[in-house]
């Protein structure tokens, strides 16, 4: 069994050019596990805190003071690594050491452990004999907190090739739809600059409904029938629009406001009109009952909680009790440690809530998430379509396919 011999943290930068941390965990003086922490722009109220006082340097300082506590531990023993972390920071949201450290130490340890035994990372997280590829769910058009003024209020319009039979086909269809949409946007608006949002989706000057129309046209012009070979999804990221004082959703860019009842209708109309397979955070992060109305109305659509659940097992239990959603986003850094996130995945599975493992809008070129998506039996993997930090994760899926250990695509 391997033993951790050293841990080192460093200050680096994410895809937005913001400071973040990277951690190296080395076992037996040989096996390097390494990961860089991502970060979100639309952040849920109850997420783990990325860094104490927003200072990555502070996280690294605390890590330096405590790194000896991890030396000698078995890097594959996630629970022990998590518990050791908890002796340093026992706060619910990792406000002392920073969720980014919890994220990075636990994943780098598993990465190091996987290298020490020469198996792919997903294998170390799950020995299930029926692992499948989650369908890549990719952002093709960005707005909201991920793109500038003039873009839609809706944060993300996504594509998923849910009729594809292989992971390569599913990835290539997403590329094709993204490209086709680019052509449509350029034709419609000669001044379109090919500008893209934080996750690589196009960022055109369009209202929500126009944007959805263009995305639907892109799929149809390629000969796909929406809801059949290819489906659209939307991350409404509604907490961005929710105004607590007014008790309304304020769509500043489009110029209208929705009461909570109107918001349900607004989302339901989009789900129906565009035959969405996937609808994330269609209401704000505290609106469990309104989410439950949508979940009941659309049992065949992935009515997904992201800010609503923040990868928090206790919040998930509450959501499950009121049947607020049938799918859950899993973002390790929202939870903190990989151990926390896997506990969340267990609880979701126990409650028949489908898992969608997701990137953050501020990412690194790491690709451990592709393994985590497979090991948690995620139905979809929300990792973008283009941009180096997004492609890195898609390319890793293709490398994984070479092992021949994965039995085709997930059943959604
Ligand atoms: C989301 C994510 C990823 P962010 O809202 O689902 O797409 O964005 O990382 O900014 O929270
Ligand atoms: Mg989201």
Per-residue pLDDT tens for 315-351?
Answer: 999 999 999 999 999 999 999 999 999 999 999 999 9
Q: So what's the pLDDT on residue 67?
A: 96
228-243 exposure pattern, b = at least 16 Cβ within 10 A, e = fewer: ebbbbbbbbbbbbbbe
Confidence class for position 190, pLDDT limits 50, 70, 90: confident
CATH of 135-402, one of 3.20.20.120, 3.90.1150.10, 3.40.640.10, 1.10.1200.10: 3.20.20.120
Token duo for residue 244:
């607590």
* Per-residue pLDDT, 215: 98
Write down the pLDDT at residue 189.
Answer: 87
> Which of 14, 41, 158 has most ligand 1 atoms within 8 Å of CB, for mutation?
41
- Asked if 139 and 392 count as a contact pair (C-beta separation under 8 A), the reply is no
The verdict on domain 4-118 having CATH code 3.30.390.10 is yes
Q: Which residues surround ligand 2, an ion (CB under 5 A)?
A: 235, 306
Residue ranges of alpha helices (H) inside 189-283 are 208-221, 260-273
Closest atom of ligand 1 relative to the 358 alpha carbon: 3
CA of 43, closest atom in ligand 1? 11
Is the model's pLDDT at 268 over the cut of 90?
yes
Residue 81's pLDDT is: 98
pLDDT for position 89: 98
**Domain range summary for the chain, segments of one domain joined by +:** 4-118, 135-402
pLDDT of residue 124 exceeding 90: yes
- Mean residue pLDDT across the chain: 97
41 Cβ below 6 A of ligand 1 = yes
User: By percentage, how much of the chain surpasses pLDDT 70?
Assistant: 100
Distance CA 213, CA 197 (A): 19
Instruction: Please tell me if the CB atom of residue 331 comes closer than 6 angstroms to any atom of ligand 1.
Output: no
- What is the distance in A from the centroid of ligand 2 to the CA of 31? 34
Within its chain, how far is the Cα of 159 from the centroid?
A: 14
Find the mean pLDDT for residues 86-100.
98
Q: Which residues contact 187 (CB under 8 A, 6 or more apart)?
A: none
Note the pLDDT of residue 191. 87
pTM of the model: 0.98
- DSSP per residue, 313-337: HHHHHHHHHTT--SEEEE-HHHHSS
User: Do 20 and 98 contact (CB within 8 A), yes or no?
Assistant: no
Q: Is the pLDDT of residue 126 over 90?
A: yes
Ramachandran assignment for 324, one of left (phi > 0), alpha (psi -120 to 50 degrees), beta (any other): alpha
């Amino acid at each position: 069994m391997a033993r951790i011999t050293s841990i080192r943290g460093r200050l680096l930068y994410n895809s937005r050019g913001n400071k973040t941390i990277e951690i190296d965990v080395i076992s037996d003086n040989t096996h390097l596990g390494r990961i860089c922490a991502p970060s979100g722009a639309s952040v849920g109220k109850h997420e783990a805190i990325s860094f104490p006082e927003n200072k990555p340097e502070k996280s690294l300082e605390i890590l330096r003071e405590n790194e000896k506590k991890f030396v000698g531990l078995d890097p594959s023993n996630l629970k022990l690594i998590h518990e050791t972390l908890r002796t340093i920071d026992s706060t619910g949201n990792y406000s002392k050491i920073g969720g980014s450290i919890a994220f990075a130490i636990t994943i780098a340890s598993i990465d190091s452990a996987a290298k020490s035994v020469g198996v792919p990372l997903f294998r170390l997280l799950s020995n299930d004999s029926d692992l499948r590829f989650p369908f890549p769910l990719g952002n093709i058009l960005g707005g909201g907190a991920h793109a500038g003024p003039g873009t839609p209020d809706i944060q993300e319009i996504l594509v998923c090739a849910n009729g594809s039979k292989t992971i390569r086909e599913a990835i290539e269809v997403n590329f094709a739809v993204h490209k086709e949409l680019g052509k449509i946007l350029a034709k419609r608006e000669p001044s379109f600059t090919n500008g893209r949002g934080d996750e690589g989706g196009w960022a055109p000057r369009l209202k929500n409904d126009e944007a959805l129309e263009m995305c639907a046209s892109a799929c149809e012009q390629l000969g796909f029938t929406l809801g059949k070979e290819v489906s659209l999804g939307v991350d409404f990221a509604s907490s961005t629009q929710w105004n607590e004082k007014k008790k309304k959703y304020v769509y500043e860019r489009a110029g209208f406001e929705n009461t909570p009842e109107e918001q349900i209708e607004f989302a339901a109309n989009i789900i129906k009109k565009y035959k969405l397979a996937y609808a994330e955070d269609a209401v704000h992060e505290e609106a469990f009952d309104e989410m439950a109305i949508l979940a009941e109305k659309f049992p065949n659509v992935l009515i997904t909680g992201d800010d609503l659940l923040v990868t928090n097992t206790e919040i998930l239990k509450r959501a499950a009790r009121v049947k607020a959603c049938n799918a859950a986003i899993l973002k390790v850094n929202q939870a903190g440690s990989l151990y926390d996130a896997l506990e969340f995945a267990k609880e979701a599975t126990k409650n028949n809530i489908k898992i969608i493992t997701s990137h953050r809008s501020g990412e690194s070129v790491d690709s451990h998430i592709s393994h985590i998506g497979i090991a948690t039996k995620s139905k979809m993997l929300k990792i973008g379509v283009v941009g180096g930090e997004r492609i890195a994760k898609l390319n890793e899926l293709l490398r994984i396919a070479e092992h021949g250990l994965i039995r085709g695509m997930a059943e959604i």
